[in-house]
Structure 1
Amino acid sequence: MELLRNAVRPYAWGSRTTIPELLGRPVPSPHPEAELWMGAHPGDPSHVIGPDGTEHSLLELVESDPVGQLGVRCAEHWGGRLPFLLKILAAEEPLSMQAHPSAQQAAEGYAREEAAGIARDASNRNYPDPTAKPELVCALTEFHALAGFRDPDRTVELLRAIDTPGLTKYSELLAAQPDPDGLRALFTTFITLPQPALDELLPEVLDACVRHVKDHGEFDAECRTVLGLGETHPRDAGVLAALLLNRLTLHAGEAIYLPAGNLHLYLHGTAVEILANSDNILRCGLTPKHVDVPELLRVVDFACGDMPVLSGEAAGRSSVYRTGTPEFELSRVEWTDGDRGELDLHGTGPEILLCTAGELLLCADDGTKVELHRGESVWLPASDPGVKVRPIGTEPAHLFRATVGTCID
């Protein structure tokens, strides 16, 4: 049971206040800070801080002692690799629109690109590793996202509500086939429009969205989102694709699970994110990075309907966000004002514990004690004894617990 020092990723869409404030650093930061990574990702592994203040890469610890750090079952199943990565996500501006492959798609794509001799760090590489990348995002603040394809009938209503001469043929295309195949056809048409046609259609659509907002129309949130995306990406087909996705507002404690093929776009807010330890991303647009349309179309799942919002299965102070994915499971623990009760943790695999509010005292069965303050996290290897957790003082405290999924075959 040791504290972690974690890497901050400074992507342009990040916030200059959220992560510095969480970590107790000066606000604002000199540059946007988008993600705080906790785990053993090769690109930016956490460092374990020993009792004497010395630091060791968590990645190197796992590689040198996979059974001791991960446990026999996890080490064997994942080839000596920690299968999850935990993050704080601080989105001040929208990310790219993207989807992630299944395990089979990732393995096949990785093998193809290896055989083709594409460097793993090449800008046009789709599959830098052979693993799936499911993810779950749990809101810490109000969190806005687009995720999954909206019910086609509802999307037809939206498109007709902002109808323009140039848009009519596309809305009627979906109206004639309001099912996943119709969505595939319309989505494919949108993202493959020649640039001159896109440059003609997009201003029409944006003007129609402005009118809809001024008229207090039913699809206000959707239109405002498209207008924002159109302002920052004025010639991008992803703006049109955004019209087809569910527009979600998550409140603190609510989560969405994004399995393979789910097309999504995080818009704004702060969240805890847990995902498989992979870099495989197929981008749709709203980014200067590589977009491989044929490969994207092979990966995207056009199943449609409302996107499920998870509140977690409650058990006392804990809520577990069950997804069925073997790579990870996320739990949220909340102590209310004045609650000083203990949480007894007796896991059989590796865990990362993250404090997002208040202060906590962790007491291991061997007598080791660690204080965990807001923004701090600890690594619990599989070989560690059980741990008891309770708040320090009477203030509310929040803890996120990242573990390996319980459904390993």
Structure 2
Amino acid sequence: MDRLVNTVRPYAWGSTTAIPELLGVPPTGEPQAELWMGAHPAAPSRIDRGTGPLPLGDVIAADPEGELGADTARRFGPALPFLLKVLAAADPLSLQVHPDPDQARAGFADEEARGIPLDAPHRNYKDAGHKPELICALTPFDGLCGFRAPDATAELLAALDVDPLKPYVDLLHAHPESAALREVLTAVLSAERTAMAETVGQAADAARRLADHDGPHRAAYAAYASLARHYPGDPGVIAAMLLNHVRLQPGEALYLGAGVPHAYLEGLGIEIMANSDNVLRCGLTPKHVDVPELLRVVRFEATAPAVLRPEADVDGAEVYETPAPEFRLSRYALAAGSPPHPLDARTAQILLCTAGTARLRGEDGSETTLGRGESAFVRAGERVDLSGEGSVFRATAAS
């Protein structure tokens, strides 16, 4: 068992208080957006096995099979296949989408062949991997996820009564679903920026008015009005109006596969993803938006947000099942006096305590205690019993 020393990422959209409160440390006054747990080279966790702190990725690279387990190393190579985060959003994140494995490999190879530096602001593919992800709410958590059915979006836009949006309403009514969504998103992201900024302003004013009245889209209108306050004139505000608004309650989760446009708006959650940096942005950001590549990657299909609730496992865990092979997230509700939970030792795991206290006991009698916000790495083959009183999230590769 190795206690992790983790890095907090200070992105501008982050909460100034949520992660410090979780960690039990004073706020700095600066945004603290994400706490990373894993071996991503941008901000690796560190462990100390008696020779001084080392990046977790270096420890794994020195003995991939010993640290990850033979099966995990064979499937994913000599690197931890997932990244675990605490995400604390006070302001909206960018509207974005992730490529599938084939798109990621092809896109990365193409940009490498063209000699685009990895740190270039117009680079789309930072690696050759895909980036499925799951967000699990620790507090009420607002987001946008997947395209709403075109007829329902036409109704939402028509109620705004904004003249420049009326052609989009007609398109959403007149075409097959995928064609309608593609044409409208293309038109929004390709529009002349000054004219679109004026349209965004009119739509935001109307959304604010409608958010004050009862109706099926009241919460969505409030969310879109908030986006416009944060990103005035951004075409991404209109693009966001094509998406479902969803509010997760604590313990609920969303899985986001390839091609699904999404954005996180506000809240504290546990995020787990494949260990990739590949993001294509649709808007709500000052960063690069590559419209042609984005349109190639987006899946133009309407999907109702599939809110996940954990399913009980035989070992007493509550598991969030997804199709992603790179990760599996589970949660343990620990009660004082209950028998310990023996944790499967076939693959590497990261354990994060989010409430109360967790005790880890190894076969050799060694013990580690985790308080709120603390985490540990357990190498493959190391049998650990988990007990205590509180809540613990466990991240592993999927079996």
Aligned twin of 2:304: 306
Contact 2:201 2:233 in 1 (8 A): no
Paired with 2:204 and 2:344, the residues of 1 have a C-alpha distance of 54
Aligned mates of 2:194, 2:36 — CA distance in 1 = 41
Match of 2:47 in 1: 48
Alpha-carbon distance, 1:31 to partner: 1.0
Return the alpha-carbon distance in structure 2 between the equivalents of residues 53 and 140 of structure 1: 36
- Is the alpha carbon distance of 1:49 and 1:30 closer, same or farther for their aligned partners in structure 2, counting shifts above 3 Å? farther
64-73 or 150-159, which deviates more = 150-159
Equivalent AA in structure 2 for residue 181 of structure 1: A
**Residue 13 of structure 2: aligned partner:** 13
Quote the residue 1:315 is aligned against. Answer: 313
User: Aligned partners of 2:166 and 2:381: how far apart in 1?
Assistant: 62
TM-score normalised over the length of structure 1: 0.94
Q: Distance in 2 between matches of 1:221 and 1:118?
A: 42
SS in 2 for 1:101: coil
Following the alignment from structure 1 to structure 2, what is the Cα–Cα distance between the partners of residues 216 and 44? Answer: 45
- Residue 347 of structure 1 and its aligned partner are, at CA, apart by 2.9
Q: Distance in 1 between matches of 2:51 and 2:17?
A: 28
Structure 1 position 143 matched with structure 2 position 141: yes
Question: For the aligned residues, what is the CA RMSD?
Answer: 1.4
Taking structure 2 as the reference length, the TM-score comes to 0.97
The reply on whether 1:405 has 2:398 as its aligned counterpart is: yes
* 8 A Cα contact 1:153 1:178, kept in partner: no
In 2, Cα distance between equivalents of 1:324 and 1:214:
39
Per-residue deviation, 1:22: 1.1
Q: What residue identity is the alignment partner of 2:391? A: H
The one-letter code matched in structure 2 to 1:253 is G
1-structure distance, mates of 2:163, 2:179? 24
What SS does the aligned partner of 1:5 have?
coil
Match of 1:70 among 48, 68, 71: 68
Report the Cα distance in structure 2 between the residues aligned to 1:172 and 1:204, rounded to whole angstroms.
Answer: 19
**Cα shift readout 1:162-191 (whole Å, capped 9, x = no counterpart):** 222222121111011251221111111111
- The reply on whether 1:350 has 2:343 as its aligned counterpart is no
Alignment-derived partner of residue 333 in structure 1: 332
**Whole-Å Cα distance in 2 between the matches of residues 312 and 180 of structure 1?**
32
1:63-102 Cα shifts (integer Å, max 9, x gaps): 1111111111111221211110000000011011101111
Tell me the residue number matched to 2:38.
39
For 2:112 and 2:197, how far apart are their aligned partners in 1? 37
Q: Please give the alpha-carbon distance, in whole angstroms, between the structure 2 residues aligned to 1:59 and 1:245.
A: 37
Q: Which amino acid aligns with 2:24?
A: G
Report the Cα distance in structure 2 between the residues aligned to 1:233 and 1:91, rounded to whole angstroms. Answer: 15
Percent of residue pairs bearing the same amino acid type = 48
CA contact (8 A) 2:37 2:45 kept: yes
CA shift for structure 1 position 215: 3.5
The 2-side partners of 1:7 and 1:200 are apart by: 40
d(CA) in 2 for partners of 1:74, 1:235:
46
Structure 2 Cα separation of the partners of residues 289 and 339 of structure 1: 51
> Alpha carbons of 1:346 and 1:211: their partners in 2 closer, same or farther (altered >3 Å)?
closer
Amino acid at match of 1:326: P
Specify the code of the residue in structure 1 equivalent to 2:164: G
Q: How does 1:241-320 map to 2 (within 5 A)?
A: 241-315=239-313, 317-320=316-319
Instruction: Find the counterpart in structure 2 of residue 2 from structure 1.
Output: 2
> How much does 1:365 deviate?
1.3
Tell me if structure 1 keeps the 8 A contact 2:69–2:380: yes
Equivalences, count: 398
Q: Does 2:177 align with 1:164?
A: no
Q: CA offsets, 1:106-134, max 9 Å, x none?
A: 10000000000000111111011001111
| 1:236 alignment partner in structure 2 | 234
One-letter code of the match for 1:381?
Answer: R
Offset of 1:54 from its aligned partner?
Answer: 3.3
Q: What per-residue deviation string (whole Å, max 9, x for no partner) do you get for residues 338-390 of structure 1? A: 45331111231110010000001111112111111110111011132x11111
1:379 match: 377
The structure 1 residue matched to 2:385, chosen from 375, 385, 388, is 388
